[in-house]
Structure 1
Amino acid sequence: MTIEAFDRVHLDGTGIDRITEDEVVAVVRDALASGRGGRIITPNVDILRRAAADPAVRRHLDDADLIVADGMPLVWASRLGGAPLPERVAGSSLIWSLSQGLGRDHRSIFVVGGTPVDRAADQVDGAARAADRLVEACPGLRIAGTLSPAFGFENDERAYAEFCATIIAAQPDLVFVGLGFPKQELVIERLRPHLPATWFVGCGAAVNFVTGDVHRAPRWMQRTGLEWAHRLGTEPRRLAGRYLRHDAPYALRLLARAPRRRP
């Protein structure tokens, strides 16, 4: 199955692939079998809003091989616009489905993100704990390595270079980068030229979801587009301004404009 087999729905200037989660896994497995790497980006309402206004954010979307909708408002807007996306494809789900798919091919992943090691509490870092859970749940999966970098590591060029060198030396088939947008996208941008046969997924909080350090919303909230409310309840100080002042009004405008774009 090739990437070119899927057409794109355009929402506020961003093309989003009409593709299911199972099809994403099939595309990645097929590409790896052919020696081709790639990049998956999973825009939500916040990323779509920022891409419409900021060329630096738009650059990350333009560089992606697969763009999938990580947000029910995007799916709803596509339906109102007459070119429906088949389903939401979230990074927090892809970390499991892609690991299962690569496990069937005995391929390797590298996990980046999660809570850094806490020696005082004698706790293993989040990336290593996530990798252990993924290997346990996905027979055949191999772990090429894990890293949970300290906050601000990207501001120390020596630390950043060592971080990248570790991943490049591991030669993984796929790298999950869970550092939040856009930091994770900048990391992927730096690594891709050195790993042309590797796939990359910027997966946000997915590593913390796998470890259980952060709990994902109940499934009914995911299905009904209310996962944002769960996240807001767990991190109100960090997310309230972004969600309520910027993202919610933008989502309403996106839905209001969708019927006028009907072909």
Structure 2
Amino acid sequence: MKTVVSILGVKIHPLTMKETIDVVDTDYIQGRRPLHLMGVNADKINQCIDDPEMLTIVNNCEIVNADGASVVLAGKYLGVDIPERVAGIDLMQELLMLAEKKDYSVYFFGAKEGVLQKMLGNFEINYPKLKVVGHRNGYFSYDEVELISKDIANKAPQLVFVGITSPKKEYLIERFISDGINSIFMGVGGSFDVLSGTIPRAPKWMQNAHLEWLFRVMNEPQRLFKRYFVGNVTFIRRVLTAKKD
């Protein structure tokens, strides 16, 4: 694997999409090793700076991708070589294609039950040979976490996608791995909503122009305005300060 780099004290593996898939498959799925597959954007880096526990979780992850154009651009400004953005939703779909091709088992955990079922229905069309061994919506009490952990352990999926908001999903994944579950865990945030068709994804031209964040804010302004506008300003300020130092 390529030498790890750092943005504002947060480690990042400078991997392309293809390199990430290859490492996940060869080193972790075939190597039968658990993995917390992490993606960081400006918001996540801000979280890490403000929350030492989150920073520890991210920096202990075996693979950390740059899941944000702002991170790639910040890297260029700071002289850090990050080859490309590895968008979480795209990486999830690449892993689903890998799982279908190689008969790897998958488990989905998160979102509302209706959203989860719509997504699974879409996957029956888009990934007809995908081996889904389990699924669970993202609404539960603290007392149910142990039961969820046992359910995942009993079904022993090779890939687990966790569609829950941050920082809850990171803490849950760490809990599951500490329980001894030998799976590849990937937190995918709101990807279940997009892949179910509940929320649209930005058109390709906006993705290519690094404006996917703006499309998301336009579709969910109450939830995302503060994260992107206030958060991005904070991130930019921190990058500028780091450059001066």
**1:35-184 paired onto structure 2 within 5 Å:** 35-116=32-113, 125-138=114-127, 140-150=129-139, 153-155=140-142, 157=143, 159-184=144-169
Alpha-carbon distance between aligned partners in 1 of 2:121 and 2:180, rounded to the nearest angstrom: 24
Provide Cα deviations, 1:203-241, integer angstroms capped at 9, x if missing partner: 101111111111111122222222221111111112222
Higher deviation after alignment, 137-146 or 20-29: 137-146
Alpha-carbon distance between aligned partners in 2 of 1:18 and 1:55, rounded to the nearest angstrom: 23
Q: Confirm or deny that 1:204 pairs with 2:189.
A: yes
Alpha-carbon distance between aligned partners in 1 of 2:128 and 2:66, rounded to the nearest angstrom: 28
- Equivalent in the alignment of 2:233: 249
Alpha-carbon distance between aligned partners in 2 of 1:61 and 1:14, rounded to the nearest angstrom: 7
SS in 1 for 2:166: coil
Give the RMSD, CA atoms, in angstroms.
1.9
- Equivalent in the alignment of 1:191: 176
Percent of pairs with identical residues: 27
Alpha-carbon distance between aligned partners in 2 of 1:34 and 1:47, rounded to the nearest angstrom: 29
Provide Cα deviations, 1:147-196, integer angstroms capped at 9, x if missing partner: 1132xx244x1x22222222221110010001011111111111113344
Q: Which amino acid aligns with 2:223?
A: R
Alpha-carbon distance between aligned partners in 2 of 1:180 and 1:140, rounded to the nearest angstrom: 28
Q: Which amino acid aligns with 2:135?
A: T
- Equivalent in the alignment of 1:120: none
TM-score if structure 1 supplies the norm length?
Answer: 0.86
- Equivalent in the alignment of 2:7: 11
Alpha-carbon distance between aligned partners in 2 of 1:55 and 1:256, rounded to the nearest angstrom: 21
The structure-2 alpha-carbon separation of the partners of 1:258 and 1:100, relative to structure 1 and needing over 3 Å to count, comes to: farther
Provide Cα deviations, 1:68-117, integer angstroms capped at 9, x if missing partner: 0111010011112223211111211111001111222111110111222x
The answer on whether the counterparts of 1:179 and 1:204 sit within 8 Å (CA) in structure 2 is: yes
Alpha-carbon distance between aligned partners in 2 of 1:128 and 1:190, rounded to the nearest angstrom: 25
The structure-2 alpha-carbon separation of the partners of 1:101 and 1:224, relative to structure 1 and needing over 3 Å to count, comes to: same
The answer on whether the counterparts of 1:135 and 1:142 sit within 8 Å (CA) in structure 2 is: no
Shift of 1:135: 4.5
Shift of 1:255: 4.6
The answer on whether the counterparts of 2:38 and 2:63 sit within 8 Å (CA) in structure 1 is: yes
Alpha-carbon distance between aligned partners in 2 of 1:251 and 1:222, rounded to the nearest angstrom: 20
Alpha-carbon distance between aligned partners in 1 of 2:238 and 2:110, rounded to the nearest angstrom: 31
SS in 2 for 1:68: strand
Q: Which amino acid aligns with 2:237?
A: R
The answer on whether the counterparts of 1:69 and 1:89 sit within 8 Å (CA) in structure 2 is: yes
Alpha-carbon distance between aligned partners in 2 of 1:257 and 1:224, rounded to the nearest angstrom: 26
